[in-house]
């Protein structure tokens, strides 16, 4: 059982606005492989070789085969105790904004509301012709490729390497960081920008920074509290302690 600083618990109880950023680490606790881990390879391809506009233009069938594999991985696993604890924290906190770099939608599956998806999600696809973005159930598959009702080819609704993050989501995340009293960075490498800028933005605006991660990151020296460990082990106890 983790022993939490009384000052941290008091701050959580009194916070009017809380912002949380989660990264691939929280999904890895559910069993999903990360891009940079040993599970990041597929058929001798690196994720970085497939998750690009150029790869899709060159061989959309290959890219879609990989994304169907990733969708299957998401369906084979479940949200973990960390996801559930964050959803419970959101229910108990006055105003909590959850921002994620994850694309599995486990936060929503665990009950979180209004999740800001910086990198999109694996569940939906977007039509390259009409722009409609819907869940995979509406995809019309022919010859290994999904099409829209309008006849246009669909692509995964994720942000690929070399693409800009969705502007509206990024602005919402920036605003949440600037307005919060306490900012949590959970399961992130603190290396991928612009998401890695969020805790610094929050700190500059006067927020307390809490990092939860098994290993130290470049953010650790800037954090007011570093809770070392897995999100699924730390967060349930934290929610129980401050409630």
Domain map (residue ranges) of the chain:
1-31+78-119+165-243, 33-76+121-158
Fold of 1-31+78-119+165-243: Rossmann fold (3.40.50)
Contact 42, 207 (CB under 8 A): no
SS3 call for 156: strand
Of 85, 88, 90, 83, the residue nearest 176 (C-alpha): 90
- Whole-model pTM: value is 0.93
Per-residue model confidence as pLDDT tens for the chain (243 residues): 678 999 999 999 999 999 999 999 999 999 987 765 555 555 567 888 899 999 999 999 999 999 999 999 999 999 999 999 999 999 998 799 999 999 999 999 999 999 999 999 999 999 999 999 988 778 999 999 999 999 999 999 999 999 999 999 999 999 999 999 999 999 999 988 899 999 999 999 999 999 999 999 999 999 999 999 999 999 999 999 987
Is 95 marked active-site? no
Q: Catalytic pick from 2, 77, 119, 224?
A: 119
Q: What is the chain's length?
A: 243
Under CATH, domain 33-76+121-158 is a member of which superfamily?
SIR2/SIRT2 'Small Domain' (3.30.1600.10)
Q: Output the CA–CA distances (angstroms, integers) from residue 8 to 62, 201, 235, in the order listed.
A: 48, 20, 13
Question: Measured between alpha carbons, how far is 168 from 170 in angstroms, rounded to an integer?
Answer: 5
What whole-number distance in Å separates Cα of residue 105 and Cα of residue 58?
28
């Amino acid at each position: 059982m983790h022993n939490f600083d009384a000052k941290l618990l008091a701050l959580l109880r009194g916070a009017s606005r809380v912002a949380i950023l989660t990264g691939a680490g929280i999904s890895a606790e559910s069993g999903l492989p990360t891009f940079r881990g040993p599970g990041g390879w597929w058929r001798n391809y690196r994720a970085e070789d497939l998750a690009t506009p150029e790869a899709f233009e060159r061989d959309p069938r290959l890219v879609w085969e990989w994304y169907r594999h990733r969708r299957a991985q998401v369906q084979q696993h479940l949200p973990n105790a960390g996801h559930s604890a964050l959803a419970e924290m959101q229910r108990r906190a006055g105003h909590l904004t959850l921002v994620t770099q994850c694309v599995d939608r486990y936060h929503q599956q665990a009950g979180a509301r209004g999740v800001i998806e910086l990198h999109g999600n694996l569940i939906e696809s977007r039509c390259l012709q009409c722009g409609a973005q819907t869940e995979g159930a509406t995809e019309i598959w022919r010859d290994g490729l999904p099409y829209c009702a309008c006849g246009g080819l669909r692509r995964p609704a994720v942000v690929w390497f070399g693409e800009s993050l969705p502007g509206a989501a990024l602005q919402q995340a920036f605003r949440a960081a600037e307005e919060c009293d306490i900012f949590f960075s959970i399961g992130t490498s603190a290396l991928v920008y612009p998401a890695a800028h969020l805790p610094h933005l929050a700190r500059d605006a006067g927020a307390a920074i809490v990092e939860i991660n098994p290993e130290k990151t470049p953010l650790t020296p800037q954090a007011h509290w570093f809770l070392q460990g897995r999100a699924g082990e730390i967060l349930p106890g934290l929610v129980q302690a401050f409630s």
